[in-house]
Chain A
Amino acid sequence: MGSGDLALVLHAHLPFIRHPEHRYHLEENWLYEATVATYLPLLDVFRGLARDSVDFRLTISLSPPLCTMLEDDLLKTRTAAYLDRLCRLGDSEMRRTSGDPTFHRIARFYADRFGHLKALYDELRGDVIGAFRALQDDGLLEIITVGATHGYLPVIREPSARRAQVQVACESYQRMFGRWPRGIWLPECGYTEGLDAVLAECGLRYFFVDAHGILNARPQPPLGIHAPVFCKTGVAAFGRDLESSKQVWSAKEGYPGDGVYRDFYRDIGFDLPLDYIGDYIHPDGIRVHTGFKYFRVTGPDVDLANKQPYDPDAAKERAATHAGNFMFNREKQMQHLSAHMDRRPLVVSPYDAELYGHWWFEGPWFLDFLARKIAFDQSTVRLSTAAEYLEENTTNSVAEPSPSSWGDGGYSSVWVHESNDWIYRHVHRAEARMHELARRWKDGTDDITRRALNQAARELLLAQSSDWAFIMKTATAVKYACDRIKTHLARFRRIDRELTAGWINAEWLADLEARDNIFGELDYRVYA
């Protein structure tokens, strides 16, 4: 009976959003929500698997902005405060629902859950990164890096700026995880011709592309997406398996759309009166998600008003069923593929990490069941990682992956769109200027000039984040995204002018360093 390897890959990223000047900031909340909904629950699952000696492997990319925010003292303090608020709201909800057994049961579930997550956060002393690092050191997780600020590499014009996105990410990774990364999750899975040379130069061994990045590679790889290809530089490219991706991703056909699972949109932040919920939403009364969601998906065309109450136990049971179904399909897939291959086929299943827990509440349970079932219930599928696969399969076909991304349409149409294309000429000018500045001072300079150059590089990196273009395209927090790009470019241009004039406003620079405090060890000469 043929067997094969399954590489689950989670991509965890949030843009760098840190506003010390505001006591409450809407977009900063994304970090707290994701920490509570995704990162802590995933850690809880991974640590549970390790504790129970379940042999599992999983790859997770942790982007430098996310890592920086998770490590930041101010944001850690605010995350702890967010968890405290959730626990208080849990108590309040227990009291409010005490006369209704159905909803009281769900309120208790949330109160217990948030209490447990708060205890976990306290136990870790807020060191989420340290907990991930420990799991990697134990050989269970393979943590890979992402572009420094998640810049979509196909639209970065200046070669040194493209290299900087990768090199700065690797250096940041080394500082966080005590080793050099072996692999990288290209931001938005965006590949363009020649990128492998940048990755090779930065000491990376593998990356991932969407399926058509491999299927349309030149020449067409004989093993398709179920084995990696080596680029001419020797860096390996792994292709996304569409079949397994779709089972989880697809809103219509995928597991998360099951009627038993929790509905994301019904939330007491929107449902309850302001005088009750006011302390747990935006201070100006803007309604936001609180995490207390009492209803289930119910059905595909059921409107919000007709959703039925959520049953956590039934949902957990369904997650176990879906994990079994996923495993069963992978077994059949491996048996089928191995009949056509001279080696163990590899199925690469990458997902946004935030799908698990944030969007699909039961996602972490699904992963937990899946890992345990694969470890104990069958012998066809083995959990593996790209790095392990390359250790066992040192010979692969050579091909140039096709330019591609994993965005809607499969190419650049999300990030190069009428809503956001105005960005590029300005960012490109800044890239070219940064290169000139780094060349001018490539042999070093005095302290204040060095700091100004480093900050200019930070502002450019932050402006390059693909999230801003994505937000504009999806028309969500558009004003915030536009303001962020304009602000970072304005800061960059002002530093440039001050450097050119030979006069640097030290107080303003110090203020900027304190606000945009990502990449403290950055050396601007990466742009030289």
Chain B
Amino acid sequence: MKHTLKIMIIPFLLMGIMTSCEDKLSDNSVFPDSIWPDTTKSTYAFDCWLRDSYVSPYNIEFRYQLQDESTDMSYNLVPAGFEQAQITAHCVKYLWLDVYQKQVSDPNFLKFYAPRIINILGCPAINAAQGTETLGVAEGGYKITLYNMNDMNEWLPKDGGKVNVAMMNKYIFHVMHHEFSHILHQAKSFPKEYEAISGGQYDAQNWQYMSDVDAYRMGFVTPYSRSEAHEDFVEVISSYITDSIGQWKERGFEFSEDNTHLIGFDENLDGTKIINQKIDMAKTWLLEKYGITLDSLRAEVQRRQDAMTYEIVMNN
């Protein structure tokens, strides 16, 4: 038996000797230097700012130089201008990253849940065949694409002109909160009971033919909410966070005195009750699952929106 073992050991020893005879490694890295900000580029200062404000703290790439393979090639698209890209990056930090960072106690929350890439494009994504426009796209919680950023300098004018928060919300922050809420509920499910609130009312095929007012009357914050329960859930959260009291008023809603509930244009209609029920459920879920107080988050966003100027955003 001992003899057999010796015979068996010899080949293993030989194997060990022969597999250890690898080539010497090259001293040169196979990775190009360009993964760090390139000191020769005109964009160096901004790239350093992005590294310090997005990559290092949150592990997020803010992709502002367009690579067409990272876009939907069925659209005709153009890159964002460099100036507009800088405004957008500062604005997203001011009105999104910094808000969550301030409102959530876990310092790694954004590092863990935020999308890895924020991809920006200069023009709107127009589907020529259907005549529709895609406001933003999220790919599996990994990448969020924002369109129409070449209008950013009109929405947040350098010369101190009127800030167009509504357009920024439409193209940036409503999209970001919407998609981020998807990421959050994919990680920790929202209550099944939510789906039952408007259970029989969802219509994935015809939601786009519905007017805003009809949507509110049925208990949806937007017509798109009607497409499906998950979309409804994230639309409630994103609308509640981003839309100003003025925007809610235009829809026929006012906020209660304690600023936590909507009062509808006609309290006897079911719409307001349903929307409030959905908001309450979203508040409970965010607090229980992530320790986020939705009213507090909303208040911080609204405070920042009201105070927003070009200087405040760019010096943030």
Question: Is B one of A's binding partners?
Answer: no
* A contact set with B: CB distance below 8 Å: none
